[in-house]
Amino acid sequence: MTVKSNSSSGVVDTSSSPFAKLIALAFKEVHLKDGFWAAWRATTRREAIPYGQQKLIDSGAISNLEVAAGRRDGAFRNMRFADSDLYKWLEAASYELANSWDDELASRVTACVELAAEAQRSDGYLNTYYQLTNTQLANIEKRWTDLRHDHELYCAGHMFQAAVAHFRCTADTRFLDISKRFADHIDETFGPGKLESVPGHPEIEMALVELYRSTGEKRYLDLARFFIDYRGRGLIGGSPYHQDHCPVREAREMAGHAVRQLYLTSGMTDLYLETGESALLETLNRLWSDMTTEKMSITGGVGARHDRESFGESYELPNDRVYNETCAQIASVMWNWRMLLATGECRFADLMEWTLYNGVISGISLDGKSYFYPNPLVSRGTIERSGWFDCACCPPNVMRTLASLHNYFATKDANGLQIHLYDNCEIETSLPEGGEVRMVLETDYPWNPDVKLTVKAAAETGKKSEWTLSMRIPGWSSHPRIVVNGAEYSGELAPGSYAEIRRVWRTGDTVDLTFSMSPIFHEAHPYVEPARGCVALTRGPLVYCLEECDQESGGKVMDCGIDTDTPPQNQWREDQLGGVMTLDAKGFHESRENWQGKLYRRVEAGKAPSRTNVTLKAIPYYAWANRGKYPMSVWIPRA
């Protein structure tokens, strides 16, 4: 079999979306070269995806499908949404087939698709939990009867996303056909005047819009709109947990179950991209401001509460018990990517990048085989990643994100090309005004700020080939500088916006972008109580932390303080944690001897604890918990 791919599509295909400001590039148009993200994708491919398949076999997700297909006997195993774990894995594997074809992986994927085809009922329905279970509450006759708690439409959404990815990456239509039959069945079942209800766990909304994009079937878009419009009418109980507490356009704040909320906002953004409904975009902007100014950890982590896996109140951002589910951070990336496509605004790319570097890859170990579900900002030495979870939503979600990550690097529009993320890569696409263009980015990002872009091929047809190259100047950066073909660029260069370089681009042209990547001490809004009097250290797009195993002479992380007047020094450590830039900061260890046996004491003047000056060693937050269970902290008290 030869590889074919749908050349016009990426993860979110806005190539025909009338209200998209930016068009996502196709998978094949961005090629990662050796570098930070290529290493992560290689780990995903080499370790995580085979490991994940074995876990899906062990957990019963694949055997459920085999039983439903009539290939073997057995009972339903695992959580009722086990199908979705498999679909997310299939989505990840599909991306990897586009990244680099492999017959063995392809045959594994195909085997699953064939299983799904056999398991699908003649009416198009496919959900192994309802097909295999036969209790009073759950059996095939009871399908679609408990939309609040069950995950049939959620699993369907993950099927559609996987099928769309499979189609776009392989041009094979079999999985897409299965999805269309299921979507048709859902469309026959749900809608105004039919079954008027919505899923307790959003996901299908964005999936249906993508299915519409890949099939052209407008009914799927209408169905997505139906599921969005009918939410908040109390049809599934009215709780924030199930995202049913208010009509979506009236929402004033991010609330309830974080992944549900963010999958919903992602679906709403997909709907906006097709319909251009201003009320939707206004709501989305309002919710984004609420999230980013009151409900987000400095890592980009969202969904602060363990309790119901939900957003907390404004400024409710603990260090120890912050939930920050890996899936919520992934959902935030998905939403920010869609907002970026909808608006072209740099702030969405900024947060997408920040969340990828800090909130997403913290969820997976460096070896690709263990995972965090919550991502706390402090550890007292009791926390480690797990090999898998009973509720295994996060691991395959990380896999599909990393396998498709290059897709978020660049976009195009009528004026030219936009570069959002930086790493060693080659971008090759066709621009409306510029024709075929190919360029190479060379950088040591995220460790060093210099990015060199070289145009390798450009259609030089005079006026027509003048186009705009937009390069993102990260919001966290300072002192940006661009040199084009050796000459200082004199256009506007503001952190948090795109430098727009318009010219006739020729083969051999070069752009050198740089900016300051000096370590920065951040403070949190005073309402964030556990960060009061503390700073967090960042450098470039990376949040840093102190892990106890790195500290001098057994110094305890919880006894450290930091001197913010002395700039930390960065040092490349090739041998540590897969190669990381560490930061050495001036600080101290504070004695706790006066606290022996006390939890509270009266304040007494002149009782300053004794301090020992030390050099604090900070590592990127994403890399913690890879060497054992050590105390760790992101927020460090200031001297």
d(CA 455, CA 507): 5
Q: Which is nearer to its own copies, 66 or 523 (CB)?
A: 523
> How big is the site for its own copies, counted in residues (CB under 8 A)?
55
Is residue 133 a contact residue for its own copies (CB under 8 A)?
A: no
Of 235, 283, 282, 239, the residue nearest 260 (C-alpha): 239
Segment 376 to 415, residues that bind its own copies, using CB under 8 A = 378, 380, 382
- 113 and 86 in contact (C-beta within 8 Å)? no
By three-state DSSP, how is residue 163 classified? helix
Compute CA 634 distance to the chain's CA centroid, rounded to the nearest angstrom.
21
The span from the CA of 546 to the CA of 617, in Å, is: 6
**Half-sphere exposure of residue 41: CA atoms within 13 angstroms, side-chain side:** 25
Is 393 in the active site?
A: yes
Q: How far is the CB of 254 from its own copies (least distance, A)?
A: 13
Q: 394 — phi, psi (to 5°)?
A: -70, -50
φ and ψ at 242, to 5 degrees? -95, 10
Among candidates 207, 184, 74, 180, which has minimal Cα distance to 132?
74
Distance CA 107, CA 100 (A): 14
- CB closer to its own copies, 31 vs 556: 556
- The one among 30, 298, 402, 499 contacting its own copies by CB under 8 A: 298
State how far the alpha carbon of 553 is from the alpha carbons of 577, 588, 590, in Å.
21, 12, 13
Q: Is 83 in the site for its own copies (CB under 8 A)?
A: no
- Asked if 304 and 319 touch (Cβ cutoff 8 Å), the reply is no
Q: Is residue 252 part of the contact set for its own copies (CB under 8 A)? A: no
Residues in CB range of 146: below 8 A, 6 or more apart: 137, 138
Q: Does 615 bind its own copies (CB under 8 A)?
A: no
Instruction: Select which of 203, 210, 309, 325 is catalytic.
Output: 309
Catalytic annotation, pick one of 169, 327, 393, 425: 393
> In the bound complex, what is the minimum distance in angstroms from residue 374's beta carbon to its own copies?
11
Q: Is residue 560 flagged as an active site residue?
A: no
List beta partners, residue 534: 637
Instruction: Determine if 612 is a binding residue for its own copies (CB under 8 A).
Output: no
Among 66, 146, 426, 523, binds its own copies (CB under 8 A): 523
What secondary structure does DSSP assign to 259-302, as a single string? HHHHHHHHHHHHHHHHH--HHHHHHHHHHHHHHHHHSB-TTS-B
Cβ within 8 Å of residue 177, ≥6 positions away: none
Nearest distance in Å: CB 67, its own copies: 24
* Subset of residues 184 to 223 that bind its own copies, contact rule: CB under 8 A: none
CB nearer to its own copies: pick between 23 and 296: 296
Taking the complex as a whole, the smallest distance from the CB of residue 545 to its own copies amounts, in Å, to 14
Report the nearest approach of its own copies to the CB of residue 389 (Å): 16
Residue 359 found at the interface with its own copies (CB under 8 A): no
> What is d(CA 418, CA 25) in angstroms, rounded to the nearest whole number?
10
522 is a contact residue toward its own copies (CB under 8 A): yes
- What stretch of H or E contains 455? strand 451-458
Binding residue for its own copies (CB under 8 A) from 183, 394, 437, 536? 536
| Stretch of 139-147, 153-161, 336-344, 514-522 lying at the interface with its own copies (CB under 8 A) | 514-522
Q: Which stretch binds its own copies (CB under 8 A): 144-152, 400-408, 506-514, 559-567?
A: 559-567
Whole-number minimum distance, CB 294 to its own copies, in Å?
6
Do residues 482 and 440 make contact, with C-beta atoms less than 8 angstroms apart?
A: no
Residue with smaller CB distance to its own copies, 572 or 595: 595
- Output the smallest distance, CB 601 to its own copies, in A: 6
Residues 300-329 close enough to bind its own copies by CB under 8 A: 305-307, 312-316, 318-321
Smallest separation, CB 557 to its own copies (Å):
11
* CA dist list (Å): 611 to 55, 396, 588, 614: 49, 46, 6, 9
Closest to its own copies by CB, 23 vs 138, is 138
Choice from 193, 462, 554, 597 touching its own copies (CB under 8 A): 597
Alpha carbon 181 to its chain's center = 29
Residues of this chain that bind its own copies (CB under 8 A): 289, 292-294, 296, 298, 305-307, 312-316, 318-321, 378, 380, 382, 520-530, 532-536, 558-559, 564-565, 590, 592, 595, 597-603, 605, 635, 637-638
Active site residues per annotation: 309, 393
